[in-house]
A and B are shown apart, each in its own frame.
Chain A
Amino acid sequence: MVVKTLPEFPVKKGEPAYKLWIFEPGEKKEMPLVFNLRQLAETRRPALLPGHRLCAGCAAPIVVKLASFAFRGPTIVVTATGCLEVSSTIFPYTSWAVPWIHNAFENAAATASGVEAALKALKKTGRLPYDHVDVVVFAGDGGTFDIGLQSLSGAAERGHDFLYILYDNEAYMNTGIQRSAGTPKYAWTTTSPVGSVLPGKMENKKPIAEIMVAHRIPYVATATPAHWMDFMKKVRKGIEVEGPAFIHTLSSCDRGWRHDTALTLEVTRRAVDTCYFPLWEWTPQSGYMLTDRSLAIARNPKLKQPIEKYLELQGRFRHLLKPENKHLVKELQELVDAAWEELLRKASNAPR
């Protein structure tokens, strides 16, 4: 019998799991961005440690863990009310290996602004023993699209230096799957029910990333946990820029989207393959730039999949696959195509 012993890296037995995230005052080291999986496993620990109580198949912890692999050093995490907050810090435990502040639902960006402004003041007066302390916000779609938009917009306008990562599961999953401004058209939720009269939510999704682009902040991007290298690169860019940065990640929720727990990443991958959720980044200098799979699709349009490939995996769109709702799928396809064409026109690295 082969006895398998788990390697002890990166934390030795007996040491606290959050040891990697302790930074001695004055430490100059910047953590490198590692993409080699072996090296990553040997040298890193995510900032969200095991033992949290998010559902099996939830993409939110994947988003947080991938993002934390791209943190460059001392980092303070701000979390708005949501699934991630309630299930990662249940008394007497916390899953966070980094300093973490929760606030109310509508003010993650405002709290981050306060934290960042204080850090700036401490640094100015020589009381901050680090070169840089980064502030990263994790907030869901409710806390970003709806109730938190005001504080996010305010913080972006004031130009506070933090990275805001939106994990968009496209509804209020924490309170039981109610529609949000992030819910896509024709999706089922408990407050946009599907029946003989209505085919789910009748309104379009709010273009949150474009709203942030309109703020002319230094960095805006979209990402999914399925395209992990792309996501990690974007997180590092967002942290490194001076000023607010915003990353919109599509984060599937197997409870709300009604798919198998094993399909979490496949669903977000297909969202990109069907151009329903294209991957891009935007900076004031270069404008829109397609990245990763979306760039590949732009170069080779044959790779683009029909929208049914995305819809068929999810129970929330089940009604659309019925024969009588064919026109709705067609309409969705036209919407997706129009948005994709527009993005191709805007993107500076798309082939002409």
Chain B
Amino acid sequence: MKREFLSGNRAVAEAALLSGLRFYAGYPITPASDLMEYLAERLPKVGGIAVQFEDEIASINAAIGASWAGAKAMTATSGPGFSLMAEGISLAVATETPLVVVDIMRAGPSTGIPTKTTQSDVYQARWLAHGDYILPVFAPWSAQDSYDLTIKAFNVSEKLRTPVILLSDAVIAHMWETLYTREPGEVEIVSRKKPVEPPEEYKPYKAGEDLVPPMAVFGEGYKVIVESLVHDEAGYYRQDTRTYREMVTRLREKIMRNIGVVYEHEEYWLEDAKIIIVSYGSTARMAYPVAKSLLSRGLRVGFLRLKTLWPLDEGKLSSALSKADKIIVVENNTGRIYYDIARIAGRDRARFSPILTVDPPGFNEVLEAVSRWL
């Protein structure tokens, strides 16, 4: 463990290197460009490679290719570039490619405000691509959290063979903070499961008990078939309901069965809280002191910060929120996570305090938004 001073983006890059990143594909886009610039210098020194491609479509597909060649791969972008990656995300889901995509949110729609942030891309991160699927989305709130969640993103993507989205934003990406980085060996690094059977018996999409098929990559002596069409265990295209149902159910179930690993939130003063403030990402940085200040004024306020935005562990979340009379969701958009909280906790208890700002929200701004419901 080492104390360091890094920006959010550099923390992501350092954590990725620790997690075994060996291939980075990217395209310049504010506010994700400096991540690529940093890795362009750092990756070659550890035997990896950072390539700048001609667009985001090429970037994500190169990362998929690299992952199938056996390297841990990552790409980073922001809203407009993330939109271009839609098809690639869908491809990675169908082919069960371990991959980390860092999406640094900026204000949208379209070009929006490249240098400033909102939290408007929560749904984009969840449901960017077409098809029936889910994928894990993590939202850090600090440089330290960016570091830790990047490691987790790599581990989850390798363990579950799925693309994982790290949903950071422009504030966190460019904010310099002190954090503790790990040395190799100090933290568990998961790598994809390899087949144990002989090559002639190997079926690329045949999963065991855990629903995650062992992954043989190119050049290991196994027959590798990377198929984006609906496929059976052997990877062959089949256009029947049974195969489709099996594939789609397994893709979902392999993540939902591991919801305990994927889902995480942080609780503060929830034991006897009557009012719980729920927030995430950069907005949570100000929602937290507001909750603390309300608590010190004698109100029974608790604070819950979501680290995983999707999929939500509804049982765990619902029991954490069960004792409160009011649950106030604070987020920098016109309503994303609020609708999930309202569904899980009930509309009668959920309250929404939107903060629409492109600058980091101030204390009074958040206090005012929350006070409406006190």
Q: Is A179's CB under 8 angstroms from B52's CB? A: yes
Asked if A170 is at the interface (CB within 8 A of a chain B CB), the reply is no
Interface residues of A in 173-204 (CB under 8 A from B): 174-176, 178-179, 181, 190-193, 197
Pick the interface stretch among B30-38, B138-146, B230-238, B271-279: B30-38
- Per-position binary interface string of chain B over residues 113-156, scored 1 when its CB falls under 8 Å from any chain A CB and 0 otherwise: 01000000000000000000000000000000000000000000
Decide: A147 near B27, CB < 8 A? Known: A175-B33, A191-B40: yes
Task: Give how many A-B residue pairs fall within 8 Å (CB-CB).
Answer: 54
Q: Is A190's CB under 8 angstroms from B55's CB? A: no
Asked if A18 is at the interface (CB within 8 A of a chain B CB), the reply is no
Q: Is B111's CB under 8 angstroms from A104's CB? A: yes
Q: Is B55's CB under 8 angstroms from A146's CB? A: yes
For B84, give its contact among A106, A146, A175 (CB under 8 Å): A106
> Chain A: which residue is nearest B39 at the CB level?
A191
For A178, give its contact among B36, B55, B84, B110 (CB under 8 Å): B36
Q: Is B55's CB under 8 angstroms from A191's CB? A: no
Q: Which chain B residues lie closer than 8 Å to A178 at the CB level? A: 28, 33, 36-37, 52
Q: Which chain B residues lie closer than 8 Å to A197 at the CB level? A: 44
Residues of chain B at interface, number, CB under 8 A: 21
Asked if B201 is at the interface (CB within 8 A of a chain A CB), the reply is no
Taking each of A86, A149, A178, A191, which has the highest tally of chain B beta carbons within 10 Å of its own beta carbon? A191
Nearest Cβ on chain A to B369's Cβ, whole angstroms: 25
> Chain A: which residue is nearest B81 at the CB level?
A105
Nearest Cβ on chain A to B329's Cβ, whole angstroms: 30
Decide: A191 near B37, CB < 8 A? Known: A147-B27, A175-B28, A178-B52: yes
A149 CA / B57 CA spacing, docked (Å):
13
- Per-position binary interface string of chain B over residues 5-45, scored 1 when its CB falls under 8 Å from any chain A CB and 0 otherwise: 00000000000000000000001111001101100110010
> Chain A: which residue is nearest B44 at the CB level?
A197
Nearest Cβ on chain B to A107's Cβ, whole angstroms: 11
Q: Which chain B residues lie closer than 8 Å to A174 at the CB level? A: 30
Q: Which chain A residues lie closer than 8 Å to B41 at the CB level? A: 193
Q: Is A193's CB under 8 angstroms from B55's CB? A: no
Nearest Cβ on chain A to B209's Cβ, whole angstroms: 44
Decide: A104 near B28, CB < 8 A? Known: A146-B54, A176-B33, A193-B40: no
Q: Which chain B residues lie closer than 8 Å to A147 at the CB level? A: 27, 54-56
Q: Is B50's CB under 8 angstroms from A191's CB? A: yes
Q: Which chain B residues lie closer than 8 Å to A172 at the CB level? A: 28, 33
> Chain B: which residue is nearest A145 at the CB level?
B54
Q: Is A176's CB under 8 angstroms from B28's CB? A: yes
> Chain B: which residue is nearest A197 at the CB level?
B44
Asked if B48 is at the interface (CB within 8 A of a chain A CB), the reply is no
A109 CA / B355 CA spacing, docked (Å):
38
Q: Which chain B residues lie closer than 8 Å to A106 at the CB level? A: 55, 84
> Chain B: which residue is nearest A190 at the CB level?
B37
Interface residues of B in 62-95 (CB under 8 A from A): 80, 84
Main secondary structure of the interface of A (DSSP, over half): loop
Nearest Cβ on chain B to A316's Cβ, whole angstroms: 15
A174 CA / B80 CA spacing, docked (Å):
15
Asked if A81 is at the interface (CB within 8 A of a chain B CB), the reply is yes
Nearest Cβ on chain B to A90's Cβ, whole angstroms: 11
Asked if A142 is at the interface (CB within 8 A of a chain B CB), the reply is yes
Asked if A44 is at the interface (CB within 8 A of a chain B CB), the reply is no
- Per-position binary interface string of chain A over residues 95-115, scored 1 when its CB falls under 8 Å from any chain B CB and 0 otherwise: 000000010111000000000
> Chain A: which residue is nearest B38 at the CB level?
A190
> Chain B: which residue is nearest A148 at the CB level?
B55
Nearest Cβ on chain A to B151's Cβ, whole angstroms: 25
Nearest Cβ on chain B to A3's Cβ, whole angstroms: 44
Q: Which chain A residues lie closer than 8 Å to B52 at the CB level? A: 178-179, 191
> Chain A: which residue is nearest B50 at the CB level?
A191
Interface residues of A in 144-174 (CB under 8 A from B): 145-147, 149, 172, 174
Q: Which chain B residues lie closer than 8 Å to A142 at the CB level? A: 28
Q: Which chain B residues lie closer than 8 Å to A193 at the CB level? A: 40-41
Q: Is B80's CB under 8 angstroms from A104's CB? A: yes
Q: Is A181's CB under 8 angstroms from B54's CB? A: yes
Q: Is A102's CB under 8 angstroms from B111's CB? A: yes
Q: Is A175's CB under 8 angstroms from B111's CB? A: no
For B37, give its contact among A86, A102, A176, A181 (CB under 8 Å): A176
For A190, give its contact among B30, B40, B56, B84 (CB under 8 Å): B40
A252 CA / B55 CA spacing, docked (Å):
23
Taking each of B37, B41, B44, B84, which has the highest tally of chain A beta carbons within 10 Å of its own beta carbon? B37
A104 CA / B114 CA spacing, docked (Å):
13
A–B pairs, 8, beta carbons within 8 Å? A81-B111, A106-B55, A106-B84, A142-B28, A176-B28, A178-B28, A190-B33, A191-B28
3 nearest A-B pairs in the assembled complex, by CB-CB distance: A146-B54, A147-B55, A175-B28
With A81-B111, A105-B55, A178-B52 given, name 13 new contacts (CB 8 A): A86-B114, A102-B111, A106-B84, A146-B27, A146-B55, A147-B55, A147-B56, A172-B28, A175-B28, A178-B37, A190-B33, A190-B40, A191-B37
Using a CB–CB cutoff of 8 Å, the interface residues on chain B facing chain A are: 27-30, 33-34, 36-37, 40-41, 44, 50, 52, 54-56, 80, 84, 110-111, 114
